[in-house]
Structure 1
């Protein structure tokens, strides 16, 4: 599985750029100021200069956003700085993941580079505010970041019967995890094991979580998920499954110490009620999967939003 962040030291205009907790006035600020000078140059910077600056900023953000998030999660859960720093890191990571560089036509290369520079400054400034001049414990090593987490999920449907709608019901499971009460339902499935094929992981996880034996039909969704304070960025794949005979009988797993998140409940949810049971990105993912099933295509998403709409 590829890693999202580079594992080698970044160089720009000479020397390597150290991690935020080891930086000094002679290196990291000089790097950011050198990019700023390129953007403010008259006449306008060349395409080659913009490309170099853009790529360097992307590497910088992808490498240091996890360090900011790791520092933020050392704060109390009710500390507003924790959520703010997380949003800054996620926003920078999202910008760095976009492909709006030179030649994309979505925005000018110069404007995109300005957005990245602003994100890099924000990440640096928030880290500085939280760090307070002390060495901070880091759960994420910015030099050797963790690999992408990968999950395989199933879109399991049953026909609508007697509820006055023509929409199918979607099987959703409610894990014992953080989230708004009544709104933490998700599609059944889970993490892939090392060396395991995604479709095989989906079948195994669905059986473990629901007791249902399903067969993959085709992939519907490829959804990139940003990092959180406790987990690296990842990819979630959603599969259509072959129709199940009769009325599916769901059997939730018994509590087991080796399972990190025990399932507490399940529900067959109609599309119009997804927002009542799911967090927004989960509801968007399910709707995208249903649309892909109807259209015969595969939806590429960024946290539940069309990857191409997000890039625009």
Structure 2
């Protein structure tokens, strides 16, 4: 359970045609070159689903529809915890606009072909476990 002093970072397990979207960090320098599920911090007065929609719009230029929250939360350090929601693209084509320089759609068997941020690996494993296998996702 999250301590009240913890701050929440939301991320999207964006699914499309049986694949998961991965985003490579370009900033800050200590995270550059590593991969993550896209998302970010909640702003004051914002709910997590609302924050996820905003973050995916800012970072990827898409309109997304959040789905279910993936069970669990993962510590990120410095009082932050990561919570992940499934999501699908409603409109737009994902592009690396902010804090990322490359995107990849990964099939289930490819999830470990990129170098994920260490603290994201447990959340990514859970997202991959829940990855829909059909083309309708």
Which residue is equivalent to 2:82?
A: 236
Contact 2:95 2:103 in 1 (8 A): no
Query: Which segments of 5 or more consecutive residues in structure 1 lack a partner in the other structure?
Result: 4-147, 160-167, 255-261, 295-312
Q: Matches of 1:293 and 1:169 in 2, distance apart?
A: 7
Contact 2:70 2:84 in 1 (8 A): yes
Contact 1:153 1:202 in 2 (8 A): yes
The answer as to 2:16 corresponding to 1:170 is no
Considering fraction of residues, name the structure with more helix.
1
Write out the 4+ residue segments of structure 1 that deviate beyond 6 Å after TM superposition: none
Which residue is equivalent to 1:271?
A: 108
TM-score, length of structure 2 as denominator length: 0.77
Which residue is equivalent to 1:209?
A: 59
Q: Matches of 1:269 and 1:291 in 2, distance apart?
A: 13
Query: Which segments of 5 or more consecutive residues in structure 2 lack a partner in the other structure?
Result: 133-137
Residues 1:292 and 1:194: Cα distance change in structure 2 (over 3 Å): same
Q: Matches of 2:71 and 2:101 in 1, distance apart?
A: 26
* RCO comparison, higher one (Cα < 8 Å, 6+): 2
Name which one, 1 or 2, has greater alpha-carbon Rg: 1
Which residue is equivalent to 2:7?
A: 149
TM-score, length of structure 1 as denominator length: 0.37
Between the two proteins, the alignment pairs up a number of residues equal to 127
1:292 shift after superposition? 4.5
Residues 1:269 and 1:191: Cα distance change in structure 2 (over 3 Å): same
CA deviation digits over 1:217-241, x for unaligned, max 9?
22114323152xxxx1222111112
RMSD: 2.5
Considering fraction of residues, name the structure with more strand.
2
Alignment counterpart, residue 96 of structure 2, candidates 227, 237, 252: 252
1:202 shift after superposition? 0.3
